[in-house]
Chain A
Amino acid sequence: DSGVTQTPKHLITATGQRVTLRCSPRSGDLSVYWYQQSLDQGLQFLIQYYNGEERAKGNILERFSAQQFPDLHSELNLSSLELGDSALYFCASSGSIEAQETQYFGPGTRLLVL
């Protein structure tokens, strides 16, 4: 158990809908990262927050947004869902933003868009 929690574990929804994925980092970790894992794209970095502020953006679509709250939990919002958004979404956390800091991953949310 990494200490990172994600809810829900599974999500099935329809095209055009909007969903929210939630992540609680390890106790004491200030940095949260979101990743998408799909069969065709592999593991891709989406976005990073550090202590409530956005720090880095990767291959995140405009239909996707995220935020980190004062209690450090984070939410990833996916809207106008398409079939291709079906993937495993991971949240990871680390204590700082340093490159050598290990990121610990949550169990993931498996999203299926029908």
Chain B
Amino acid sequence: ETGVTQTPRHLVMGMTNKKSLKCEQHLGHNAMYWYKQSAKKPLELMFVYSLEERVENNSVPSRFSPECPNSSHLFLHLHTLQPEDSALYLCASSQEVNANTGELFFGEGSRLTVL
């Protein structure tokens, strides 16, 4: 396995369900990110982790709960979502959060549909 892998690729859930998105990076990076991609909007940075510590949380509703058990894995736990949360959720990694390159490596995304 190489790069950044996300599972599941597609997820349909009701508003009362609890589900989780998983991300794994095989690049030896120390920083991991969750982004939300919605149509006609800029990518929205949700969470940033550096060496398993959360370093940024951009006013994301509490129905989204991240978890980073180690520097290779990142989860996004979903609970009581709203239809407007339907989007493509992208995981990314970089060598360091403060690396002066701005280069992120993205997974293919998890397409979430909330009914």
Partners in one complex: no
